[in-house]
């Protein structure tokens, strides 16, 4: 993956596009869509692609549907913070191979969706967008429905399920879920120090080695849809959300948590304890040598992760 003026221009055009996604009729593959698919390694054959926008929660949200010829169920897949659908190509390929239709969207402020880059006022804004899109999916795509979320995507699912304990999904998978980030108290201290300097609105992003796949780490740095700054509003929203989630009730939804034991992005031991307390029907597995980006780990680790997902969905 190399950033060029041509791909930047194509992504800008796709970002500005207002073409509404059609849930029942796949897209014709335009030169722009083909360039997007090639750039982010969506090269699977015999998959119908639905590609477009929806007006949700006062934002223009970019949605994609990947439908195999033989459909068995739908997976609603959520990416993490500072990510987008383009980073989910490996897991989407694997789910399609198992005949799952995958629906995914770029969070507001991410990818091809509208909104201030990587910013949010409250975590509920994320949840409200997911909730409204979920209702559309249930209406347009009835049948078995599974939820899979990575990192912040898992946080959104957690919040929704704990707010709606009577909600029904066939199964839920949380991958490297974010509750607290790593070095949580140090991050809190640093955040409150920045509040003493009111003109500071963002902090510089550090690209960390959150995968053992060197190609992925290289591509991430040169991805035109990445941002180099983290808004302090987002950090503030995460801190506020952590204060609320402890007061939520529990849920009995069948849930599977997959966590790398070398994850330095989230405080995974704390997070696992909290989630075990809130999700009464929880199974979990630790992935040896797995870092935070489990969907984009080196191939041997990635295969283990996908095998765990497959076995849970097939059980």
Residue 5 makes CB contacts below 8 A (sequence gap 6+) with: none
Indicate if the pLDDT at residue 1 is higher than 70. no
pTM for the model stands at: 0.97
Indicate if the pLDDT at residue 4 is higher than 90. no
What torsion, rounded to 10 degrees, do the Cα atoms 123, 161, 135, 110 define?
30
Mean pLDDT of the chain: 96
CATH for 5-314 is 3.40.50.1820
Q: What is the mean pLDDT of residues 140-166?
A: 97
Domain boundaries, the chain: 5-314
The string of pLDDT tens digits covering residues 244-280 is 999 999 999 999 999 999 999 999 999 999 999 999 9
What's the rounded Cα separation, in Å, for the pair 48 and 30? 14
The string of pLDDT tens digits covering residues 6-56 is 999 999 999 999 999 999 999 999 999 999 999 999 988 899 999 999 999
């Amino acid at each position: 993956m190399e950033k060029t003026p041509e791909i930047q221009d194509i992504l800008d055009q796709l970002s500005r596009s207002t073409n509404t996604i059609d849930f029942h009729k796949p897209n014709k593959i335009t030169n722009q869509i083909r360039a997007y698919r090639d750039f982010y390694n969506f090269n699977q054959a015999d998959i119908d692609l639905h590609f477009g926008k929806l007006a949700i929660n006062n934002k223009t949200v970019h949605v994609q549907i990947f439908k195999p010829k033989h459909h068995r169920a739908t997976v609603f897949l959520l990416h993490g913070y500072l990510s987008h659908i383009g980073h989910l190509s490996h897991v989407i390929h694997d789910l399609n191979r198992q005949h799952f239709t995958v629906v995914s969207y770029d969070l507001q402020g991410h990818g091809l969706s509208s909104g201030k880059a990587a910013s949010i006022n409250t975590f509920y804004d994320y949840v409200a967008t997911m909730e409204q899109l979920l209702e559309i999916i249930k209406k347009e795509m009835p049948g078995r429905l599974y939820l899979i979320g990575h990192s912040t995507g898992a946080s959104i699912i957690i919040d929704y399920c704990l707010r709606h304990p009577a909600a029904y999904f066939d199964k839920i998978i949380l991958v490297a879920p974010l509750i607290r980030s790593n070095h949580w108290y140090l991050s809190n201290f640093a955040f409150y120090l920045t509040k003493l300097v009111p003109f500071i609105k963002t902090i510089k992003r550090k690209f960390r080695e959150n995968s053992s796949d060197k190609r992925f780490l290289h591509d991430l740095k040169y991805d035109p849809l990445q941002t180099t700054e983290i808004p302090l509003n987002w950090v503030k929203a995460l801190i506020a959300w952590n204060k609320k989630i402890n007061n939520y009730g529990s849920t009995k939804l069948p849930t599977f948590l997959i966590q790398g034991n070398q994850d330095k992005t989230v405080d995974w031991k704390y997070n696992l304890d909290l989630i075990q307390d809130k999700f009464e029907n929880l199974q979990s597995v630790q992935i040896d040598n797995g870092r935070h980006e489990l969907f984009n780990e080196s191939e041997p680790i990635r295969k283990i992760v996908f095998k765990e997902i497959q076995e849970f969905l097939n059980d």
